[in-house]
Homo-oligomer: A and B are copies of this chain.
Amino acid sequence: MSLEAPGFGFELIARDGAARRGRLTTAHGTAETPAFMAVGTAGTVKGLLPEQVAGSGTEILLGNTYHLMLRPGAERVAALGGLHRFMQWPGPILTDSGGFQVMSLAELRQLDEDGVTFKSHLDGSPHALTPERAVEIQALLGSDIAMVLDECTRYPATLEEAEASMRLSLRWAERCRRAFRPRSGHALFGIVQGSVYPALRQACAEALTGIGFDGYAIGGLAVGEGQVSTFAMLEATTPALPAEQPRYLMGVGKPADILGAVQRGVDMFDCVLPTRSGRTGQGFTRRGQVNLRNARHKDDPRPLDPDCGCPACGRFSRAYLHHLFRAEEMLGPILLTLHNLHYYQELMAGIRAAIEAGTLADVAAAFAEQQAAGDLAPL
């Protein structure tokens, strides 16, 4: 537990190889790790009521600073009592710094030593994001875990480009650390950059540890470099991070990516895949991904995943889900988002139990075998 953020804590409960079973404590309660954070971009996990999100086993959400600063605005959210109250999510919330989405969504963006200026993709209004403002916005939102502003190094990048970008992110990290005003149970995480260069990743991890954060994220992966490279970077990075603090792999990923990252010492994840895929008809199952828009489901009375206990699989047929997607009915995305989040959270619960039992390698092997078996045979 860091001195700067009293009340925030991370407890290690068990280990299995490099994998860790832990518990985050925040101003808004706890989250068991390894944890999957559902993405609630603009103050809502798309299509779900808060109790449906909680019912999936989700304990901690991610909110996007870029979206919330533009609409409804950080000062407005603060005046309305903060993000937890605004969206009626009583549990922990982590917010990103906004930097990643400025780079992927905003227009006319200009980056210099001070920070980044850009125009909103919504209405063209001008905005600036500096390390200090990123920390201020996240305090206005009232998130339990804030992230430093960093530059997500583009991929591919030369060693020189990657180092220059990483050094800029380090200078911004120091400014964020100075700007962060500790409140009980609230935390600030640093972000390790360094592209696909192990030496840069290690140097960045050591420099961030020197500054001192409540947790450490690993950024700039899952941006096109592939799973092999992602895993290699984790192997270079996690040993250089303090064992007693949480580690968060940003924006990852598919179930197999998460499993492999846990085996390499990662504690926290977020990804739009279960929610975004749920909206487009892609279901995650114990037998791999299933596209419910496919005509082969139109007469199938079986549930999407016979082994799933979610509100969709417990009652509705593939034929019904297929119908909802073909008819562009809102209930299709709702049910499949519910299912996918349940699937992800059941995966995380299984991972946590396996670490406690020292059987994570067996669970990983069984997972790969199940996925390879493919979907149910046609009726």
Residues on A lying within 8 angstroms of B by beta carbon are 42-44, 46-49, 67, 71-72, 76, 79-81, 86-88, 298-299, 301, 311, 315-317, 319-320, 323-324, 326-327, 329-331, 333-335
From B44, B71, B324, contact of A44 by CB (8 A): B324
The chain B residue sitting closest to A279, CB to CB, is: B330
Do the beta carbons of B71 and A327 come within 8 Å of each other? yes
Q: How far is the CB of A198 from chain B (nearest CB, A)?
A: 40
Residues in B neighbouring A334, C-beta threshold 8 A? 47, 49, 330, 334
A330–B76 CB distance below 8 A: no
Give min CB distance, A251 to chain B, whole Å. 21
A326 / chain B contacts, CB cutoff of 8 Å:
71-72
Question: Contact: A72 with B298, CB < 8 Å?
Answer: yes
- Nearest 6 pairs between A and B by C-beta? A47-B330, A44-B331, A72-B323, A42-B327, A88-B315, A44-B329
B323 touches A43 (CB 8 A): yes
Least CB separation from A337: chain B residue: B330
Whether the Cβ atoms of A330 and B43 lie closer than 8 Å is: no
Using A317-B80, A319-B86 as known contacts, say yes or no to A329 and B42 having CB atoms under 8 A apart: yes
Describe A's contact surface by its main secondary structure: loop
A28 CB, min distance to chain B CBs, angstroms: 16
Q: How many Å lie between the Cα of A324 and that of B42 in the bound state? A: 8
A42 CA to B322 CA, complexed, in Å: 13
Given A71-B326, A319-B80, is A46 in contact with B331 using a C-beta cutoff of 8 Å? yes
Contact A87 B299 (CB under 8 A): no
Copies of this chain: 2
Known pairs A71-B327, A320-B87, A326-B71; A76 contacts B298 (CB<8 A): yes
B46, A76: Cβ atoms under 8 Å?
A: no
Chain B minimum-CB-distance residue to A70: B327
- Give the residues in chain B near A86, CB-CB below 8 Å: 317, 319-320, 323
26 A-B residue pairs with Cβ-Cβ distance under 8 Å, sorted by A, are A42-B327, A43-B323, A43-B327, A44-B330, A44-B331, A46-B329, A47-B330, A47-B331, A49-B311, A49-B334, A49-B335, A71-B323, A71-B327, A72-B298, A72-B319, A72-B323, A72-B326, A80-B299, A80-B301, A80-B319, A80-B320, A81-B301, A86-B317, A86-B323, A330-B330, A334-B334
A88 partner residues in chain B, CB cutoff 8 A: 315-316, 320
Known contacts: A49-B311, A330-B333. The answer to whether A79 contacts B320 by CB under 8 A is no
Interface-central residue, A43, A79, A311, A327, by most chain B CB under 10 Å: A327
**Bound form: Cα–Cα A185–B329 in Å:** 30
Q: What is the chain B residue whose CB lies nearest that of A88?
A: B315
Question: A299 touching B46 by the CB < 8 A rule?
Answer: no
